[in-house]
Amino acid sequence: MKKFILGVVTGLFLMGCFAWISNFMGTSLFKDKEIVLPNNQNNQPENKLKDLTQIIEKQKDELKKQKESLDQTKKNLNSYAKVVSTVVQGEDFPFEIISDTSEETIVFSPNYIREVPENTDLQKLYLLRLINQLAAVKGSKITFWSNKDDALLYSTGEIKTNGTEGWVGQNSKFGTMFKDGDSIYLWHHLGVHEKDSVTLGIYQIKE
């Protein structure tokens, strides 16, 4: 019986010693050690706030750019409307008939300003308005010029090639109207070899 009691006491003592040693070793291993959580757990709220802030700032920049673009579009539309009103409803454009024969009528108009606007639709409006102002002329062909010297030289027929595209004075010709029987054709010139057909109302496309 004494041996049994001694064995139990010895076992309890050894278990106590083992528990104390385990606790001591565990404390020693983690003493002065900083516990670092993973990034997605340690500062997750801060990262989310930073991401949201960046998204908001980006959206603000996009909104600012869209507003600037809209403001510019409004300015362009106002400018366009002003030019259209001037062309359609303004005073008659000045012009001078340089030559008027059955073959061709040559017209000079100083108010055709190529750079104001560069929009060809508005330039065509100018041409149409100018044609509407012309009284009856003899020519089955009418050419319109923005430079008087070029128009005068053209009327003499004494023009010489002085450029890779031909006679550079031809660049100041901005319109040609041609009558062929009951058909009328109108072209708006962009340069010596560039022209657009105007197909509004009575004007047709020449095949």
Tens of pLDDT, residue by residue over 61-72, are 888 888 888 888
Question: Residue 173, CB half-sphere, CA atoms under 13 Å: how many?
Answer: 26
Q: What is the DSSP string of 130-142?
A: HHHH----S-SEE
Contact at 8 Å (CB) between 112 and 144?
A: yes
pLDDT the model gives residue 144: 95
Backbone torsions φ then ψ of 31, nearest 5 degrees: -70, 135
- 3-class DSSP state of 93: coil
Q: pLDDT category, 50, cuts 50, 70, 90?
A: confident
Estimate the crossing angle of helix 44-89 against helix 120-133, to 10 degrees. Answer: 10
Please name the residues in contact with 19: beta carbons below 8 A apart, sequence gap of 6 or more.
none
Kindly report whether the global pTM for this prediction surpasses the value 0.75: no
* Across 91-109, average pLDDT: 91
How many CB atoms within 10 Å of residue 130?
21
**Number of helical H runs and strand E runs in the chain:** 5, 7
How many CB atoms within 10 Å of residue 4?
8
Distance CA 138, CA 29 (A): 112
- Specify the range with the lowest mean pLDDT, choosing from 41-45, 47-51, 130-134, 149-153: 41-45
CA quadruple 111, 113, 119, 121: dihedral sign = positive
Predicted confidence (pLDDT) at residue 98 exceeds the cutoff of 90: yes
Q: pLDDT category, 93, cuts 50, 70, 90?
A: confident
Distance CA 176, CA 84 (A): 21
Decide which of 144 and 17 is more confident: 144
